[in-house]
Amino acid sequence: MEDLRKPILPGKGASDYERYLRTDDLLSLQKRPEEFLHPDELTFQVVHQASELLMKGTAWELDRARVHIADGDFSNAARLLRRGNYMLEYPISVLHVLETITPVDYQLIRAGLGHGSGLDSPGFLALLHIGPRLGEAFHGQLLKAGLSVDDLYRRHQEFFGLHDVAERLLDFDERVHLFRFHHLKLAQRIIGGGVVGTMGTPVEVLHQRMEHLFYKELWDVRNRITAQANEAMQKSGVGPQY
Ligand code: HEM
């Protein structure tokens, strides 16, 4: 009988689990304890590395979603956008782990970062790259259907699939914004809001970058819906007051 514990996949590692996931390589990507500038450094590295992986996964799924949008397959686009957005929850929530590093201890870790800066994060740069391209694919479909953003939102039942895609794009925009918000708070807590980072960028710049939105038009349409409803209410004198 076949021994199911015996690995059959090629590669390093005693089991197929280790070989498939390449855990030997993955788990050797962190500094060894004798190299740490502070014992908190493992947490610092693991949080960054995990975030890079999850952002890589997110960007991949969002690019697949972009192809589905361009093909007019809105169900599959929304499914993959949802998946990408779920994945992006983790780089946001795991930022809180780093809030447990004290400002004084962080300075020891920071001394070993060279000019290393999150501005060069491949995962985040991939998200910044895919955001506008998703928007182009979405607007291409609006154009094809002869719709404005306002039409899509007013006639959401009729254009359910494309409206669903629009809402999932908004989820993505919100998550990138939330990442920036929690990251700014982290930087303010750990190094302070009035200093410059490892690449000479003032922390204040993080504040300005939070203003950036991929899909401003999807946020703005809500203002017009509310303004129109308010106008109608004023004319009729009835309706919801919130
Ligand atoms: C102790 C924790 C952290 C501190 C003190 C910190 C600090 C900073 C600072 C000061 C900047 C501005 C650029 C610079 O001069 O370096 C920056 C940018 C950035 N960092 Fe961090 N960071 C931390 C953790 C993280 C983590 C865990 C990630 C996850 C990948 C990350 C990703 C980024 C990104 C993507 C930017 C560019 C932000 C943007 O374009 O809006 N950082 N960080």
In order of their start, the domains of the chain are 37-111+121-215 (1.20.58.480)
- Mean pLDDT of all residues in 134-163: 98
Q: Please tell me the distance from the alpha carbon of residue 187 to that of residue 165, in angstroms, as a whole number.
A: 33
pLDDT of 168: 98
Q: What is the pLDDT of residue 134?
A: 98
Banded model confidence at residue 240, pLDDT cuts 50, 70, 90:
low
d(CA 31, CA 54): 20
Q: What is the pLDDT of residue 113?
A: 96
pLDDT of residue 55: 98
Q: Which has the closest alpha carbon to 106: 180, 48, 189?
A: 189
Q: Is pLDDT at 67 greater than 60 in this prediction?
A: yes
Q: Which two tokens stand for residue 22?
A: 């390449």
For ligand 1, say whether the CB of 125 is within 6 Å of any of its atoms.
no
The residue nearest atom 26 of ligand 1, judged by CA position, is 48
Residue located nearest, by CA, to atom 8 of ligand 1: 187
Count of alpha carbons within 13 Å of 156, Cβ hemisphere only?
10
Which residue puts its alpha carbon closest to atom 16 of ligand 1?
117
- Mean pLDDT on 134-161: 98
239 band by pLDDT with thresholds 50, 70 and 90 = low
Q: Whose CA is nearest to atom 22 of ligand 1?
A: 187
Say how far apart CA 162 and CA 168 lie, in whole Å. Answer: 10
Residue 104 CA, ligand 1 centroid: distance in Å: 18
Ligand 1 atom 29, closest CA: 48
**Beta pairing partners, 202:** 196
**Residue written as token pair 């946001």:** 92
Task: Give the residue-averaged pLDDT of 88-103.
Answer: 98
**Whole-number pLDDT of residue 207:** 87
> pLDDT digits over 166-200, tens only?
999 999 999 999 999 999 999 999 999 888 877 77
How many A from CA of 145 to the centre of ligand 1?
40
Q: Which helix (H) or strand (E) holds 122?
A: helix 122-145
Residue 226 has pLDDT above 80, yes or no: yes
CB of 81 within 8 A of CB of 65? Answer: yes
Ligand 1 and 117: CB distance under 6 A: yes
β partners of residue 196: 202
The DSSP secondary structure of 85-99, one letter per residue, reads HHHHHHHHHTHHHHT
pLDDT band at residue 227 using 50, 70 and 90 as cut-offs: very high
Nearest-angstrom CA–CA distance, 108 and 15 = 38
Model's pTM, two decimal places?
0.95
pLDDT of residue 4: 87
DSSP assignment of 161-216 equals HHHHHHHHHHHHHHHHHHHHHHHHHHHHHHT-TTSB-TTS-BHHHHHHHTT--S-H
Which pair of structure tokens corresponds to residue 237? 């004198």
Ligand 1 nearest-atom number relative to CA 205 = 12
pLDDT at 237 exceeding the cut of 80: no
Mutate to test the pocket of ligand 1, among 58, 182, 183 (most ligand atoms within 8 A of CB): 183
